[in-house]
Structure 1
Amino acid sequence: MERRREAGVRVGLLPLGVVGAQFHVNLTLWDGSSCWEARMTAHGEIDRLTRVFDLCASAATLRD
């Protein structure tokens, strides 16, 4: 995590248990309009990824 932060990535740390198991995904969100998920499910949609990202971002302690 420190290497990524030092490289300019904005890193957020989530408290344990704040995100339900259905939202345990590996995702990236660029500029609020494009998402990528490492493993897409049959119902995996960008809208779901945006909701997951927003949930994580609101609960995270951001380190700049």
Structure 2
Amino acid sequence: MFFFLDASDRDVIARSRQDSHRLGVAVQIGTVRYKGLFLEDPLAVPWPVVDHLAEQSGVGDPSQVKR
């Protein structure tokens, strides 16, 4: 699955201090795997994907991705 975060992904994500940054990195990792490139608008990801990535990356509030 493109939006599954493995241990190495979670290590990279954990380097960010803020929830918004951690979730943003998770979204970028997933979209690069899925599309092969970074999205011009990182918020153009379906909300269920953001929810799924927030849960995996330990971000309690998925709306942090908007920051």
- TM-score, normalised with respect to structure 2: 0.28
- TM-score, normalised with respect to structure 1: 0.28
Which of the pair is proportionally richer in strand? Answer: 1
Larger of the two Rg values belongs to structure:
1
Which of the pair is proportionally richer in helix? Answer: 2
